[in-house]
């Protein structure tokens, strides 16, 4: 027996305490993680985390004074016998017909009232709940006060309902005592399907080799060693392992001691949940990975996006129209007055695109409210260039993220694609193209043109009057002379020539100024289009990257033991 006691002591290694507040903070971090990834990662990957948050919240709220310990194992290993032996009552039927126990039985040490809510949640029917409190016990049983012991059905059952019940309960209890017997302790089902799955719950796992009395005493250590080796392979190194005999009170001492310690520590529930958090965090780790959160879409991709947006929005067509409109309007303002009217008859290139025409020539208010331009729709090539640019932004932004995220980033980048055409059109319509004010120099040149034209008209009138007087035989006008040429002729020819000269000199200036106006409009339009790209493409991407960073931080907090 001393050998077994030694093993038990060795197995209770570490005795790390789990701080309730630290555990609550870790659970809170899992909750933050779930909020951050909501709608971004597949729900199926998040089921264990949601289950944990819900279960842990309920378990901690129900009772921290009780410790729920389950006896689990294959059929006939002696769970019910151990249960009855610990309770010192025949509570759960023990039989030769297999399987015997079909529903979970519970025995509560201490008053039942406090444990009832917990047992309701665990799902043990009231008629299968028992109380281990008797006046006869005196103080014998006080060491186990707070223990709720469960006798589970067999997990290797031919009855599917038994297995489902066991799987459900193993997710809820605070500690599990795995009961094996000398015949089936090496069975693959128990190791592969159950014990291995519990490797993160070593702190709340205990293994007993029951029916030790069926082995020759000399064989017990050998079987225990063999079982220990199997447990090591399962990842359960160091879990308490002891031999029991349900039929003999002396063969129950080790197990009873271990349970008393568990109850006294009041740690099993916290340790179990801490193990659950470890399991969930390990499962989520691949979803978030250790990649540093990206700062955002990079400049090269953003420039490419802006170019593609400008193309799709028809910026080149608009800026070309701006240049032509400038020439048109400047020509109308500074050209030779005789042909100005004719120029005005030609439509303004910007008005043709339903963009603001010359000052005072605004479209009617209803039209400007709709704010739809007639800028040509993007071509198929421009649309596909935009699609590629958006994908490039998403790809660059998600380049370092784990596999689960690039899809979410691409979806975000494309989430408002349908709204883009209207937004771009409204932006183009609402951009001040810089053609509203008429430059002062137009007025000066226009004024000069009027003056020289007036001079020509005066000269012409004067000459016509002179001819008329002569034709009627009336005394001729005494024309003043400029050198050898009469003044009216100077006025007429000089006015005409000066008008032509001013028009000729103005033309290159207008062309240069039109190019400048085009460049200015291009700058403004590109800046406004970039704002649309920021709002409709980059912001959704940044939101997902922000969620990634939050999820990563939350998971890191959740992993902190
Ligand atoms: N010799 C000996 N027999 C035992 C011991 N424990 C249980 N048994 C016997 O093994 C048989 C099965 O015991 P149960 O307690 O019903 O086993 P169980 O694990 O509850 O079985 P299920 O309810 O079917 O899952 C019974 O005949 C018990 O008397 C033990 O320590 N030594
Ligand atoms: Mg049983």
Residue 136 — pLDDT band, cuts 50, 70, 90?
A: low
What residue's CA is closest to ligand 1, atom 6?
78
Q: How far is CA 63 from CA 113, 172, 174, in A?
A: 11, 13, 12
Give the whole-angstrom CA distance, residue 499 versus residue 489: 15
Nearest Cα neighbor of 558 from 94, 31, 161, 140 is: 31
Question: What's the predicted TM-score (pTM) here?
Answer: 0.79
pLDDT score at 14 = 41
Ligand number, closest to the Cα atom of 94: 1
More confident residue, 87 or 361: 87
pLDDT score at 291 = 64
The whole-chain average pLDDT of the chain stands at 88
List, in sequence order, the alpha helices (H) in 214-265.
219-233, 253-265
Closest ligand 1 atom to 75 CA = 25
CB-based pocket (< 6 A), ligand 1: 73, 75-81, 94-96, 98-101, 153-154, 210-211, 213-214, 245-247
What residue's CA is closest to ligand 1, atom 21?
76
Nearest Cα neighbor of 161 from 82, 234, 104 is: 104
162-196 tens-digit pLDDT: 999 999 999 999 999 999 999 999 999 899 989 99
Determine the distance separating the centroid of ligand 2 and the alpha carbon of 62, expressed in angstroms: 27
SS3 359: coil
Q: What are phi and psi of 352, to 5 degrees?
A: -65, -30
Residue 361 — pLDDT band, cuts 50, 70, 90?
A: very low
* Sign of the alpha-carbon torsion through 186, 188, 190, 195: positive
Segment holding 437, helix H or strand E: none
Residue 543 — pLDDT band, cuts 50, 70, 90?
A: very high
pLDDT at 5 over 70: no
Cβ-contact 106, 124 below 8 angstroms: yes
Ligand number, closest to the Cα atom of 75: 1
SS3 68: strand
Give the whole-angstrom CA distance, residue 187 versus residue 277: 29
**Mean pLDDT value across residues 331-340:** 83
Cβ-contact 269, 69 below 8 angstroms: no
- Token look-up 């370092």 returns 400
Nearest Cα neighbor of 163 from 152, 174, 179 is: 152
| DSSP assigned state of 202 | G
Burial class (CB in 10 A: 0-12, 13-18, 19+), 305: buried
Segment holding 345, helix H or strand E: helix 337-345
Nearest Cα neighbor of 407 from 397, 417, 416 is: 397
SS3 206: strand
Cβ-contact 267, 175 below 8 angstroms: no
**What length is written for the chain?**
561
Q: Which of 72, 74, 76, 128 maximizes ligand 1 atoms within 8 Å of its Cβ, making it the mutation to test the pocket? A: 76
Determine the distance separating the centroid of ligand 2 and the alpha carbon of 242, expressed in angstroms: 20
Residue 548 — pLDDT band, cuts 50, 70, 90?
A: very high
Give the whole-angstrom CA distance, residue 233 versus residue 516: 79
Give every CB contact of residue 551 below 8 A, 6+ residues apart in sequence: 33, 36, 37, 288
Give the whole-angstrom CA distance, residue 418 versus residue 507: 45
pLDDT at 360 over 80: no
Helix and strand totals (H; E) in the chain: 21, 9
pLDDT at 243 over 90: yes
Determine the distance separating the centroid of ligand 2 and the alpha carbon of 211, expressed in angstroms: 14
SS3 416: coil
Determine the distance separating the centroid of ligand 2 and the alpha carbon of 225, expressed in angstroms: 26
More confident residue, 480 or 245: 245
Least confident range from 135-139, 198-202, 482-486, 549-553: namely 135-139
Q: What are phi and psi of 178, to 5 degrees?
A: -85, 120
pLDDT at 102 over 50: yes
494-531 tens-digit pLDDT: 999 999 999 999 999 999 999 999 999 999 999 999 99
pLDDT at 143 over 50: yes
Give the whole-angstrom CA distance, residue 155 versus residue 545: 45
**Angle, helix 440-471 to helix 487-533, in steps of 10 degrees:** 150
**Mean pLDDT value across residues 209-221:** 96
Q: What are phi and psi of 209, to 5 degrees?
A: -95, 100
Give the whole-angstrom CA distance, residue 336 versus residue 343: 10
Give the whole-angstrom CA distance, residue 53 versus residue 304: 44
What residue's CA is closest to ligand 1, atom 16?
94
Ligand number, closest to the Cα atom of 210: 1
What residue's CA is closest to ligand 1, atom 9?
78
Cβ-contact 491, 459 below 8 angstroms: yes
Determine the distance separating the centroid of ligand 1 and the alpha carbon of 153, expressed in angstroms: 12
């Amino acid at each position: 027996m001393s050998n077994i006691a030694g093993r038990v002591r060795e197995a209770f290694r570490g005795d790390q305490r789990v701080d309730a507040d630290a555990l609550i903070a870790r659970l809170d971090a899992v909750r933050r993680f779930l909020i951050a990834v909501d709608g971004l990662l597949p729900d199926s990957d998040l089921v264990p985390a949601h289950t944990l948050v819900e279960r842990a919240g309920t378990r901690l709220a129900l009772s921290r004074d009780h410790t729920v310990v389950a006896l689990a194992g294959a059929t006939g290993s002696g769970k019910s016998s151990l249960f009855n032996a610990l309770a010192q009552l025949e509570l759960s039927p023990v039989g030769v017909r297999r399987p015997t126990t079909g529903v979970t039985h519970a025995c509560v040490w201490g008053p039942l009232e406090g444990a009832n809510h917990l047992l309701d949640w665990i799902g043990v029917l009231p008629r299968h709940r028992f109380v281990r409190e008797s006046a006869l016990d005196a103080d014998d049983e006080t060491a186990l006060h707070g223990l709720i012991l469960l006798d589970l059905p067999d997990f290797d059952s031919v009855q599917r309902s038994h297995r489902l019940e066991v799987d459900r309960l193993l997710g809820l209890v605070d500690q599990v005592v795995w009961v094996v017997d000398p015949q089936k302790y090496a069975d693959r089902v128990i190791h592969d399907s159950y014990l291995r799955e519990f490797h993160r719950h070593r702190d709340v796992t205990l293994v007993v080799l029951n029916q030790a009395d069926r082995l020759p005493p000399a064989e017990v250590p050998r079987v225990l060693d063999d079982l220990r080796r199997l447990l090591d392979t399962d990842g359960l190194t160091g879990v308490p392992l002891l031999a029991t005999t349900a039929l003999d009170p002396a063969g129950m001492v080790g197990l009873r001691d271990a349970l008393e310690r568990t109850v006294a520590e009041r740690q099993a529930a916290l340790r179990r949940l801490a193990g659950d958090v470890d399991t969930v965090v390990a499962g989520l780790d691949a979803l978030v990975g250790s990649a540093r959160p990206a700062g955002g879409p990079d400049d090269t991709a953003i420039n490419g996006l802006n170019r593609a947006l400008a193309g799709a929005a028809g910026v080149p067509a608009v800026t070309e129209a701006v240049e032509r409109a400038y020439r048109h309007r400047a020509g109308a303002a500074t050209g030779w007055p005789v042909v100005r009217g004719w120029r005005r008859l030609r439509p303004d290139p910007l008005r043709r695109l339903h963009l603001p025409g010359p000052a005072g020539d605004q479209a009617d208010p209803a039209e400007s409210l709709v704010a739809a331009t007639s800028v040509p729709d993007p071509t198929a090539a421009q649309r596909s260039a935009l699609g590629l640019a958006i994908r490039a932004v998403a790809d660059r932004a998600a380049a370092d993220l784990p596999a689960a995220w690039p899809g979410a980033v691409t979806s975000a980048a494309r989430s408002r694609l349908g709204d883009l055409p209207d937004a771009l059109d409204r932006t183009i319509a609402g951009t001040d193209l810089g053609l509203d004010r008429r430059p002062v120099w137009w007025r000066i040149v226009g004024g000069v043109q009027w003056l020289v034209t007036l001079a020509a008209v005066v000269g012409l009138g004067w000459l016509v009057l002179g001819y008329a007087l002569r034709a009627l035989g009336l005394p001729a006008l005494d024309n003043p002379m400029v050198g050898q040429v009469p003044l009216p002729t100077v006025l007429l020819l000089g006015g005409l020539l000066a008008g032509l000269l001013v028009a000729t000199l103005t033309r290159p200036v207008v062309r240069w100024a039109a190019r400048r106006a085009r460049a200015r409009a291009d700058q403004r339009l590109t800046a406004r289009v970039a704002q649309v790209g920021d709002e409709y493409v980059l912001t959704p991407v940044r939101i997902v990257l922000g969620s990634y960073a939050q999820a990563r931080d939350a998971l890191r907090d959740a992993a902190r033991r």
